[in-house]
């Protein structure tokens, strides 16, 4: 029995402390209001024969027990439908009966003590019917306070659950988006290598090595806590994708590439830039010298900009695996929020994509 009590206190110590502090606040408020109205009567009522500290201790113990039972054993289980109404009543009714017996008995003891020690002319005694109604009103107030506290506890609990669920949802969506986006350029490149092997081209070995590096980058486990990669790694493998696609078309593609990397410490979600470049290769017309594929990457202090423009080819303007640019937009939004702007639009014969990320606001 003693071990169970210790276990209960250790598990619920935070709740009990908060309830004790709240009970002390209520007791202090009652004493202050009574003292303002009638100092002498307040001192007499709150000290009695056992003294002020003992009265405070008894009040706190009774209040903590009452509020704990009402909040965590009656109201919250009823709200969660963990207990039937009949069982809730079987807990609440005996609780208030026991409180009434103890409070009314204490009142009778106190009244007897005051009758013996205080002149009749100096006492303002409550009648037995008055104290009964006062106790009933007090119990109704206990119910209101307990119900309000239970609603607050439920609101805090739901808030914590919502934060956890949103975090889990975000992580799940990011993982799902990554797995949707990652494979598209691998399949295209494997088809290219297959064609090269068939033709026994001398560049096959270099192409296989290049593709292996891209696959390793795409499929390797990211050790970063936030799932980001350094911009230099992303650009290195993006250039490999450009080179592989050039080899697929016998270096006949028209590509203008610019970069200005003033901050090499910038990080980014892996494969985002690579996916946008691969999308341009798949759906753009890059054989027109007058309208080359234009790629520009710049980084500054806490800022990254990426622009890509290609002449529109035939077919739907979406990512290679069919999930569409909306998927990239969602992935960026989940990660960067309002620190990121992503714009994909058609202007005449061109398809433009612009990405800008601010790393600190």
The pLDDT tens digits for 200-210 are 766 676 777 77
More confident residue, 230 or 10: 230
**Strands 255-261 and 293-300, how do they pair?**
parallel
Of 61-70, 142-151, 192-201, the poorest mean pLDDT is in: 192-201
What's the rounded Cα separation, in Å, for the pair 108 and 121? 19
Residue 105: both structure tokens together: 């008995």
Residue 72 has pLDDT above 60, yes or no: yes
Predicted local confidence at residue 320, as pLDDT = 43
User: Which residues lie across from 355 on neighbouring strands?
Assistant: 306, 342
More confident residue, 102 or 238: 238
The 10s digit of each residue's pLDDT in 278-311 is 889 988 899 999 999 999 999 998 899 999 999 9
**Strands 303-311 and 350-358, how do they pair?**
antiparallel
Average pLDDT on 92-119 reads: 75
Predicted local confidence at residue 318, as pLDDT = 42
The 10s digit of each residue's pLDDT in 17-66 is 888 888 888 888 877 887 787 777 767 667 666 677 777 888 888 888 88
**Per-position DSSP letters for 53-97, written without gaps between them:** HHHHHHHHHHHHHHHHIIIIIIIHHHHTT-S-HHHHHHHHHHHHH
Average pLDDT on 111-129 reads: 60
- Domain 182-358 falls under CATH 3.40.50.2000: no
Secondary structure tally for the chain: helices H, strands E: 12, 7
The 10s digit of each residue's pLDDT in 208-256 is 777 777 777 776 666 666 778 999 999 999 999 999 899 888 889 999 9
Residue 97 has pLDDT above 80, yes or no: yes
Residue 315 has pLDDT above 60, yes or no: no
- What DSSP state is assigned to residue 220? S
Give me the residue spans of the domains in the chain.
Answer: 2-171, 182-358
Nearest to 302 by CA among 266, 254, 249, 260: 266
Q: What is the arrangement of strands in the sheet containing 255-261, beginning at the earlier edge strand? A: 255-261, 293-300, 303-311, 350-358, 340-347
Between CA 213 and CA 217, with CA 357 as vertex, the angle to 5 degrees is 10
Q: Please say whether the beta carbons of 71 and 63 come within 8 A.
A: no
The 10s digit of each residue's pLDDT in 261-277 is 999 999 998 888 998 99
Average pLDDT, the chain: 80
- What DSSP state is assigned to residue 318? S
Residue 317 has pLDDT above 60, yes or no: no
Predicted local confidence at residue 351, as pLDDT = 92
Helix (H, G, I), strand (E, B) or coil at 270: coil
């Amino acid at each position: 029995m003693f071990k169970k009590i210790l276990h209960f206190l250790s598990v619920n110590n935070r709740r009990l402390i908060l309830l004790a502090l709240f009970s002390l606040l209520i007791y202090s408020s009652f004493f202050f209001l009574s003292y303002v109205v009638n100092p002498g009567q307040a001192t007499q009522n709150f000290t009695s024969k056992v003294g002020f500290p003992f009265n405070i201790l008894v009040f706190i113990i009774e209040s903590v027990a009452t509020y704990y039972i009402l909040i965590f054993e009656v109201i919250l289980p009823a709200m969660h439908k963990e207990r039937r109404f009949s069982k809730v009543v079987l807990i609440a009714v005996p609780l208030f009966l026991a409180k009434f017996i103890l409070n009314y008995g204490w009142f009778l003891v106190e009244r007897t003590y005051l009758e013996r020690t205080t002149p009749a002319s100096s006492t303002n005694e409550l009648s037995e019917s008055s104290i009964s109604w006062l106790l009933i009103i007090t119990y109704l107030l206990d119910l209101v306070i307990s119900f309000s506290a239970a609603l607050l506890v439920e609101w805090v609990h739901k808030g914590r659950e919502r934060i956890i669920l949103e975090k889990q949802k975000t992580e799940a969506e990011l993982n799902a988006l990554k797995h949707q986006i990652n494979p598209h350029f691998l399949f295209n490149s494997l088809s290219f290598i297959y064609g090269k092997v068939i033709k026994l081209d001398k560049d096959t070995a270099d192409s296989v090595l290049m593709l292996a590096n891209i696959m390793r980058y795409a499929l390797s486990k990211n050790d970063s806590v936030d799932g980001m990669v350094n911009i230099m790694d992303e650009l290195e493998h993006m250039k490999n994708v450009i080179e592989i696609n050039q080899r697929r078309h016998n270096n006949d593609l028209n590509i203008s590439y610019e970069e200005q990397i003033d901050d090499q410490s910038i990080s980014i979600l892996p494969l985002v830039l690579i996916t946008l470049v691969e999308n341009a290769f798949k759906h753009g017309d890059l054989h027109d010298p007058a309208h080359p594929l234009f790629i520009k990457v710049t980084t500054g202090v806490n800022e990254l900009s990426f622009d890509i423009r290609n002449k529109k080819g035939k077919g739907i303007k979406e990512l290679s695996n069919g999930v569409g640019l909306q998927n990239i937009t969602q992935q960026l939004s989940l990660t960067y929020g309002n620190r990121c702007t992503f714009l994909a639009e058609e202007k005449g014969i061109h398809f433009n994509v612009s990405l800008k990320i601010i790393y600190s606001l």
